[in-house]
Structure 1
Amino acid sequence: MITDHWPLFGLRLHTPRLELRVPDLADLAQLAEVAAAGVHDPGRQPFVVPWTDGTAEEVARSTLQFQWRMWGQWTPGNWSLHFVTVHDGRIIGTQALDAREFATLREVGTGSWLGRAHHGRGFGTEMRAAVLDLAFTGLGAQWAVSEAFADNAASYGVSRKLGYTDDGIARHVVRGEAVVGRRLRLDRAGWAAARTVGVRIEGLAPCLPLFGC
């Protein structure tokens, strides 16, 4: 079985409404279709890398290529774990957890997107809560970091709800213009104090060496 060689395919996170899992090829096909249908208002670009600028076919293909690239580049010292988010049997978006030198730094980052049809329903909070539980409970993280552009109130609101505090700014060039990003940081105590979403982790034990644990 594929999980004998790549146990991440057996990793599942369960919240009251969602399942997060590492996608197989059929899941990736659905994810690409969600991306192609639209992730954000075309008039705004919420990502540092403007991967959603393009035709529907180009966005779908780049979604697949990015996921495959993350699989191929994985090492215990530098990994990026991308789940698909599933609600009522349908894939609605993706949630990532990544780290560099995790065994030493004990710090993770997060990133996510949802199809536009699924915005405004609290899914963003629930799916990030799931990977934070994986990080702090499952992997023994000490810190989690995130960043959102200054005008991305939805992402910033999720971070504040989950206990993050401000951690400075970063400046980027997006579509040829300077954009300010707000950095945020969450420590273990802040996560525990703000924790309200129940999360069940399945299939983690055989994956731990891949995370450097």
Structure 2
Amino acid sequence: MTLLTHWPLAGLRLTTPRLELRLPNLDDLAALASLAADGVHDPTVQPFTVAWTDVAPEQRARSVLQYHWRCWGEWQPENWELNLVVVRDGIVVGTQGIGARDFSIRREVGTGSWLGRAYHRQGLGTEMRAAVLHLAFAGLGAQYATSGAYADNAASLEVSRKLGYREDGIERHSVRAKPAVLRRLRLTAEQWQQHQLVPVQMEGLPECLPWFGLA
């Protein structure tokens, strides 16, 4: 028997013209942790609802490892978080996540991601989210995908606009002890079909379907 016998998610691959998205191995996680330590956004702003980057570099690195391990250990078909490492030309450039609760009933996923600062403004954010949206809608039969970004996070909001998301209300948060408005976004299966900008190939999905709560 191999790891895939007990953990078929390790064989899941999403590929786009420039990127491969896969479940990270330990070497990938080490590279991702180092990328986080080097910084993933302008330190004068805080784009995340959980301010995990407002700590020392070594704490950021450790939190990346612990978060991935926690998601692996807590995986259940009715409550899952799939965090894929994003690789370009053999180099880890970031991570793209997709998750759901009671997916077999609700048919709704949420997404989140980050890139190392050296890889911003190259269109990679659009490409990697397009990959997991293809997994959600074409692979898993999702009906909706949700996302969110603070009102001043123009880059994230632009990615969502390109991919067909529509406004879905706001939330008020506290960021660094100041009020901040988070814009919720929603994408339907029909809107996704009209905004497929990136060709995506999937490998290893059939074996994983029970892990997503699907027969």
Q: State the TM-score, normalized to the length of structure 2.
A: 0.98
Following superposition, the deviation at residue 55 of structure 1 comes to: 1.2
1:52-91 Cα offsets, whole Å, 9 max, x none, are 1111111101110011011111101110000000001000
1:174-208 Cα offsets, whole Å, 9 max, x none, are 22222110000000110000112000000001100
Following superposition, the deviation at residue 93 of structure 1 comes to: 0.2
Size of the aligned set, in residue pairs, is: 213
- Cα distance in 2 for residues equivalent to 1:172 and 1:77: 28
Q: Hey, what does 1:43 align to over in structure 2?
A: 44
- Cα distance in 2 for residues equivalent to 1:101 and 1:171: 26
The 5-angstrom pairing of residues 147-162 of structure 1 reads 147-162=148-163
RMSD over aligned CA atoms reads: 0.6
1:130 has 2:131 as partner: yes
- Cα distance in 1 for residues equivalent to 2:96 and 2:196: 18
Q: SS of the counterpart of 1:189?
A: helix
Q: Hey, what does 2:15 align to over in structure 1?
A: 14
Q: Hey, what does 1:206 align to over in structure 2?
A: 207
The percent of aligned pairs where both chains have the same amino acid is 62
1:93 has 2:94 as partner: yes
Letter in 2 for 1:187: T
Which stretches in structure 1 are left out of the alignment for 5+ residues? none
Q: Hey, what does 2:108 align to over in structure 1?
A: 107
- Cα distance in 2 for residues equivalent to 1:188 and 1:61: 36
- Cα distance in 2 for residues equivalent to 1:76 and 1:171: 31
- Cα distance in 2 for residues equivalent to 1:142 and 1:124: 22
Letter in 1 for 2:182: G
- Cα distance in 1 for residues equivalent to 2:131 and 2:54: 29
Following superposition, the deviation at residue 171 of structure 1 comes to: 1.3
Q: SS of the counterpart of 1:95?
A: strand
Q: Hey, what does 1:67 align to over in structure 2?
A: 68
1:58 has 2:42 as partner: no
- Cα distance in 2 for residues equivalent to 1:84 and 1:58: 19
Q: SS of the counterpart of 2:149?
A: strand
- Cα distance in 2 for residues equivalent to 1:100 and 1:174: 26
Structure 1 residue ranges (4+ consecutive) displaced by more than 3 angstroms after TM superposition: none
- Cα distance in 1 for residues equivalent to 2:8 and 2:174: 38
Letter in 1 for 2:20: E
- Cα distance in 2 for residues equivalent to 1:178 and 1:69: 30
- Cα distance in 2 for residues equivalent to 1:186 and 1:48: 20
- Cα distance in 2 for residues equivalent to 1:25 and 1:131: 22
